Amino acid sequence: MVKFLKLYEKIGIFIFLVAGGVFLSFASPYFLKGDTILNIVTQGTYGAIVGFGMTLAITIGGFDLSVDAVMSLTSVFLSILIPVAGIPLAILMSVIIACSVGLINGLIITKLKVNPLITTLAMMTIIKGVALLVAGGRQIVIHQKVFMELGTGKTLGIPNPIYIMIVLFVIFYFLLYHTPFGRHISAVGSNENAARISGLKVDLIKILTFVLVSFTASIAGTIRTSQTLIGIPTMSPGFVLVAITVTILGGTSLSGGKGNLWGTLFAGVFISMIYYGLNLIGVQIFYQMLSVGLVLIFALFIDGIRNRYLETIKAKGIKV
């Protein structure tokens, strides 16, 4: 059973991908076309990118429900700053502003000892209000059309968002698995008290982790704003569900201590495949949302079984 659970943790998402791909290839003659595959992967970049940050948050034993609000805040500030500061500087400033949300989340969680779920839920509401206030309750059109190249342009026939997703994956993969900071994230998530006793700066690690979550949300918000050329203060409502689904389905356990970035990457594509594929065969949007919710419940069910079983065999003194 242990071998099966470890195998599922590593390749479970690939099984979902293959099964979904086989079903949709029979259900729609358009599914296996090159443009369709590229569109699915491109749409999956949003969930995957934010999922990279969420993977770190859940690995450290936390949570972040404010990601869709951060995307909205980024979008609004981009639309305001681009005409004034130019595209590169506007992106940089908007990302820094977004990262400050993660900084505030981290400080409240570590210094005031407020539960991450409550903190980020409250911050989500606050930041949505700030985005609406700054935008004056309206959408702001961006007239610099060259900005659209970031989200809609292609390089060597591949959409630019895919390149951005790959670059961020490499960065986060290296960060989590090949740096002391990544090992410290896993250590804190596995046993925070032991991490403190061993001399790790737990508060700083948590703060930096939540900053990175906001960073990924700001990148996703930048890409989406580029595609629409509109600053949207209510961008992607409920997107946090997608980010959490991608992370849990990818094999990152809610109990913390171990993240699976490869799983997050492919889970982002899988969730996109659900939406895009069901749309191809004419399934209405609320059924698509229902499908994603069911996938999340299934992923949580498997995670719960895994955790209970591992706790049971550890209690018997069996090494896993």
pLDDT tens digits, 238-285:
889 889 889 988 888 887 888 899 999 999 999 898 888 888 887 777
User: For the ranges 91-105, 112-126, 197-211, 266-280, which has the lowest average pLDDT?
Assistant: 266-280
Q: How many domains does the chain have?
A: 1
Task: Please determine, for residue 28, whether its predicted confidence score (pLDDT) is greater than 60.
Answer: yes
Look at residue 279 in the predicted model and tell me its pLDDT: 82
In-domain check, residue 202: yes
In-domain check, residue 27: no
- pLDDT tier at 105, thresholds 50, 70, 90: very high
In-domain check, residue 294: yes
What mean pLDDT value characterizes the chain? 88
In-domain check, residue 26: no
Give the residue numbers spanning the domain of 260.
2-20+33-313
Residue that wins the pLDDT comparison between 16 and 185: 185
Look at residue 316 in the predicted model and tell me its pLDDT: 61
Look at residue 150 in the predicted model and tell me its pLDDT: 93
Residue that wins the pLDDT comparison between 175 and 1: 175
Average pLDDT on 207-227 reads 96
DSSP string, the chain: -HHHHHHHHHHHHHHHHHHHHHHHHHH-TTTTSHHHHHHHHHHHHHHHHHHHHHHHHHHTT-----HHHHHHHHHHHHHHHHHHH-HHHHHHHHHHHHHHHHHHHHHHHHHS---HHHHHHHHHHHHHHHHHHHHTTS-EE---GGGHHHHH-EETTEEHHHHHHHHHHHHHHHHHHSSHHHHHHHHHHH-HHHHHHTT--HHHHHHHHHHHHHHHHHHHHHHHHHHHTEE-TT-STTHHHHHHHHHHHTT--TT-S---HHHHHHHHHHHHHHHHHHHHTT--HHHHHHHHHHHHHHHHHHHHHHHHHHHHHHHTT---
Look at residue 291 in the predicted model and tell me its pLDDT: 78
pLDDT tens digits, 171-213:
999 999 999 999 999 999 988 999 999 999 999 999 999 999 9
Look at residue 50 in the predicted model and tell me its pLDDT: 96
Task: Please determine, for residue 2, whether its predicted confidence score (pLDDT) is greater than 60.
Answer: no
In-domain check, residue 320: no
In-domain check, residue 25: no
Indicate the pTM of the whole model. 0.91
In-domain check, residue 318: no
CATH number of 253's domain: 1.10.3470
Look at residue 178 in the predicted model and tell me its pLDDT: 94
In-domain check, residue 213: yes
Look at residue 315 in the predicted model and tell me its pLDDT: 63
